Amino acid sequence: MAARSTIAPLSWLGRAYIAVVRGVPDIAFFLFFVIALDQGFEWLRHQALCPEWTDAIRQGNDFIVCDPAKLPLSSAPQWQHEVYGFFLAVLTFSIVFGSFAANVLFGAMRAVPKGQMEAAVAYGMSARQAFWRITVPQMWVFALPGLSNLWMVLIKATPLLFLLGVEDIVYWARELGGTSLARFSDYPHGDWRLWYFLFLLIFYLTFTRISERLLARLTARLTRGQATLGGT
């Protein structure tokens, strides 16, 4: 919506977000953007909680804030550290894949015939009413194929969570299947990684199959009554 706005600065901002984020490799976001985001949160907390601090926050490669500003606190239980890492991961995924989704929605909005918008205005609808009653309901018909592909890519991209220290299903398949770590050395079996990764294969295929069926039902629901090949 920002990219389609008639307000030039807002349109520039929306188009820049779509273009820049789509042009940067995902791994770069996970390696560098998350660190900057984390430090940004701590810097804001530092300014609010420790105004009497006189030392420089950035000292060479070190980023030093007062103890109350750290996220999470060093005295916090382990689950809070894990939840915070998961929150950063979800936020980063949202920003990265949101740019691709925005581009899909942008194209879907432009695919709605202009004649229908003109007809809505001729019937007395305002531009806002025509957008929400005509453009938005019909754009999903054109957007869902691209969004479904993006959802499948997102499912396969979740192993990137290990870059943030989040222990995902791929991490545990590798750890539990191997015998090199001391904590698993008492297991009465050899290297079972083949079976754990076979489970991963079945898990991801099942998950994608369920997603395909749900997306197919959603597409059939949204195309009902629409002037498309999928409509009835």
CA distances (Å), 173 to each of 19, 162, 169, in order? 36, 13, 6
Task: Find the helix or strand (DSSP H, E) in which 63 lies.
Answer: strand 62-63
* 148 and 180 co-located in one domain: no
Residue (of 221, 109, 70) closest to 231 by Cα position = 221
Rounded Cα gap, residues 111 and 224, in angstroms: 18
Distance, in Å, from the CA atom of 182 to the CA atom of 179, rounded to the nearest integer, reads 8
The total of other beta-carbon atoms located within 10 Å of residue 172's CB is 12
| Percent of the chain's residues with pLDDT above 70 | 81
Residue 200 sits in the same domain as residue 87: no
Q: Which of 157, 175, 195 is the C-terminal boundary of a domain?
A: 157
User: CA–CA distance from 140 to each of 187, 212, 222 (Å)?
Assistant: 51, 16, 7
Distances (CA, A) of 160 to 12, 27, 31, 155, 172: 30, 8, 10, 10, 14
Q: Does a structural domain hold residue 2?
A: no
Pair 146, 197 in one domain? no
Q: Is residue 42 part of a domain?
A: yes
- Give the mean model confidence (pLDDT) for residues 156-174: 66
Distance CA 198, CA 173 (A): 10
| Same-domain status, 144 and 82 | yes
Q: Find the mean pLDDT for residues 152-161.
A: 78
Residue 222 falls inside a structural domain: yes
Tell whether 148 and 172 lie within a shared domain: no
Does 67 fall in a domain? yes
Number of domains making up the chain: 2
Whether the Cβ atoms of residue 196 and residue 171 lie closer than 8 Å to each other: no
The pLDDT of residue 102 is: 92
User: Domain containing 55: what range?
Assistant: 8-157
Q: Is residue 85 part of a domain?
A: yes
Among 109, 138, 157, residue at a domain's last position: 157
Q: Quick one: 198 and 88 in the same domain?
A: no
CA distance 126 to 116: 13
Greater confidence (23 vs 174) lies with 23
Query: Is the backbone peptide bond immediately before 77 cis, with ω within 30 degrees of 0?
Result: no
Same domain assignment for residues 152 and 189: no
**Per-residue confidence band for 184, with pLDDT thresholds at 50, 70 and 90:** very low
Is residue 56 packed enough to be buried (19+ CB in 10 Å), middle (13-18) or exposed (0-12)?
exposed
- With respect to residue 31, please indicate whether it lies within any of the assigned structural domains: yes
- Look at 193 and 72; give whichever has higher pLDDT: 72
Cβ–Cβ contacts within 10 Å for residue 52, how many? 5
Same domain assignment for residues 97 and 192: no
Structural domain contains residue 25:
yes
pLDDT of residue 10: 92
Q: What is the crossing angle of helices 78-111 and 136-157, to 10°?
A: 140
- At residue 170 the predicted structure's pLDDT band, cuts being 50, 70 and 90, is low
Query: Distances from the Cα of 213 to the Cαs of 82, 140, 143, 219, in angstroms?
Result: 32, 17, 17, 10
**Residue that terminates a domain, selected from 91, 122, 157:** 157
Question: What pTM did the predictor assign?
Answer: 0.69
Same domain, 192 and 96: no
| Domain membership flag for residue 178 | yes
Q: Which residues, at least 6 apart from 6, have a Cβ–Cβ distance to it below 8 Å?
A: none
Question: Quick check: 176 pLDDT over 70?
Answer: no
**Confidence bin at 182 (pLDDT 50/70/90):** very low
Are residues 31 and 134 both part of a single domain? Answer: yes
Query: Are residues 121 and 214 located together in one domain of the fold?
Result: no
For the cut 80, the answer to whether the pLDDT of residue 196 exceeds it is: no
Q: Render pLDDT for 36-46 as a digit per residue (tens, 0 to 9).
A: 888 888 888 88
The residue among 216 and 27 whose pLDDT is bigger is: 216
Both 153 and 177 in one domain: the answer is: no
Are the C-beta atoms of 162 and 170 separated by less than 8 Å? yes
